[in-house]
Structure 1
Amino acid sequence: MKLDAIDLRILEAVQGDGRITKLALAEKVGLSPTPCWMRLRKLEKAGIIAGYHARLVPRKIAPIASVMVEITLANHRQGDFDRFERAVAAIPEITACWSVGGGVDYIAKIVALDIDAYQRLIDGLLDRELGIERYFTYIVTKTVKEETGVPVTALFEADIDQRS
């Protein structure tokens, strides 16, 4: 789907405020409500907008430990990756996991009640024999920046600059 400037303004607006009203969205992007709503639905149907969520502040709910983990698998067959990824997808404390190139296979973000709970989670993964050869743990001591959104405007400007 080819996006134009109005689509990008819609994306930026709903990303900033998922509870924005139809009327306020239309005003913000410079369209009348019906065409704006149709564009929003088109973006949703195309899968560009996957859902609307509340952003929680975990430390205000309970004291937590945020941990980043580098994981390397012993074998690199597709079945090994699939088995590991299925296991990770089923564990709610693993809030993000990326397959990466370079010296490791995966980087995961884990949110646990404390370091002991994190270690029990890792021990459980190792006990399941998912092919983990080694892992390196990085305890988050301070969150400097954590954005969940996509920098729509910056990406669009970069795209324009590359076309020039």
Structure 2
Amino acid sequence: MAERRLDGIRLDGRDRAILAVLRREGRITNAELARRVNLSPTPCWARVRRLEQAGVITGYVARVAPEAFGRRVTAVVTVELESHRAEDFARFEAHVQGVPAVFDCAAVGGGVDYVMKVSAADVAAYQAEMDRLLEAGVGVKRYFTYFVTKPVKEAPPPLDGAEDSSA
């Protein structure tokens, strides 16, 4: 298999296969991971450690059902800032880092500046979060809210050929 270079680390086909499996099943045992990628356990563990140390694997997470904490709403929010100077973007981004209800935020190109995902107990709690954002003086010109009615797909982005179904 062809090798790829990523920030100083070489990722061969076996590394990409390991990453593909771990992205789907982060709690898989090393023995089962090794079996799936056709390696013995010791070299498989060494590859995983190398990927962790190089910063390719940045952590392992558990997906938790929000319903376990009571009724929740999720909103996708587009945000446009009043001004587009670097310090305005930096101020907004620094503020959002400290808002726990905002669990995803991306700067985007096009008609708006940011797309955020916000979680709240209910619509009133969501609106209170947005009121605090407006009162924070971080330059929000306008925002539009789209409430999630049904999650359709949640997955990390594909890894350029690593997401093959044979792993």
Q: What is the TM-score with the length of structure 1 in the denominator? A: 0.89
* Structure-1 separation of matches of 2:154 and 2:102: 16
* Residue 96 (structure 2) pairs with residue 88 (structure 1): yes
Match of 2:31 in 1: 23
Match of 1:162 in 2: none
Displacement over 4 Å in runs of 4+: none
Give the aligned residue type for 1:35.
Answer: P
* Residue 138 (structure 2) pairs with residue 127 (structure 1): no
* Structure-1 separation of matches of 2:151 and 2:24: 20
What whole-Å deviation, never above 9, does each CA across 1:122-141 have from its counterpart, x for those lacking one? Answer: 10011110000111111111
* Structure-1 separation of matches of 2:32 and 2:102: 36
**Structure 1 gaps, min length 5:** 159-164
> What RMSD, in angstroms, separates the aligned Cα atoms of the two structures?
1.5
* Structure-2 separation of matches of 1:142 and 1:27: 36
Larger helix percent: 1
Q: What is the TM-score with the length of structure 2 in the denominator? A: 0.87
Give the aligned residue type for 2:17.
Answer: R
Q: Which has the larger displacement, 110-119 or 34-43?
A: 34-43
**Structure 2 gaps, min length 5:** 1-8
* Structure-2 separation of matches of 1:157 and 1:64: 34
Match of 1:156 in 2: 161
* Structure-2 separation of matches of 1:69 and 1:12: 30
> What is the deviation of 1:60?
3.5
